[in-house]
Structure 1
Amino acid sequence: MRIRIACLGAIALGLLAGAACADPFSDLAALPTFYTDAAMSTMKPMAGFKKAWFAMSKHDRRTMTKACNDPAMSKPHAQFCANVLALGGAN
């Protein structure tokens, strides 16, 4: 019985830690396509941003839209999130 409880506790802890570490802004390989330079300091114009946005999978767009709706996540990426929300989070 104790082993079962210990195993369930370890699984629950792993699931919670995995969800807490999820940062869609660093996990997606497509993020650099929204910027004009390798340092990711200059955002592409809206036409280029829109093209890169629709090149992403629907799942990635949903993940980004959800992250941009979270004030804590969107604050460091304000310009990016402004463009995402201007597109209406189009899926």
Structure 2
Amino acid sequence: MNIKAICLGAFALSVLGGVAFAGALDSPYNMQPFFTDASMKTMKSDTEFKAAWDAMSKDKRNAMKKECNDAAMSKPYAEFCVKVHQLGGNS
């Protein structure tokens, strides 16, 4: 078999696999609307947070709720997940 084809296949699988492991809470694109700054250190007010939450698709909200309900996954996002739970995310 051609070594080039094998290497290309392995690279493609690693790229696709890496995307599969990234969760909704790991995506800056998903998280940015909830923060006031680009470094995502300061969360928006409750009113602005709720507006950003309501503007998201139901699929993204469900993915975030699921990850916030997973103790291991939610640990780095504890402050965010508290607000998700306040919005009814633990149901």
Aligned to 2:3: none
Change beyond 3 A, Cα 1:28–1:42: closer
- Which residue is equivalent to 1:82? 82
TM-score normalized by the length of structure 1: 0.73
For residues 32 and 20 of structure 1, what CA distance do their matches in structure 2 show? 20
Q: Number of residue pairs matched?
A: 76
1-side partners of 2:73 and 2:25: how far apart? 9
Distance in structure 1 (CA, Å) of the matches to 2:48 and 2:20: 32
- 1:49 aligned to 2:58? no
Taking a change above 3 Å as real, the CA distance of residues 77 and 30 of structure 1, as seen in their structure-2 partners, is same
Consecutive unaligned residues of structure 1, counting only runs of 5 or more, are 1-13
Q: CA deviation at 1:45?
A: 0.9
TM-superposed CA distance for 1:23, in Å, is 1.5
Q: How does 1:6-45 map to 2 (within 5 A)?
A: 21-27=21-27, 29-45=29-45
Q: Which amino acid aligns with 2:35?
A: Y
Unaligned runs of 5+ in 2: 1-13
TM-score scaled by structure 2? 0.73
What per-residue deviation string (whole Å, max 9, x for no partner) do you get for residues 20-67 of structure 1? Answer: 713111236231010010000001111000000000000000000000
- Residue 69 of structure 1 deviates from its aligned partner by 0.0
State the one-letter code of the partner of 1:60: K
Give the aligned CA root-mean-square deviation in angstroms.
2.3
Segments of 4+ in structure 1 off by > 6 A?
none
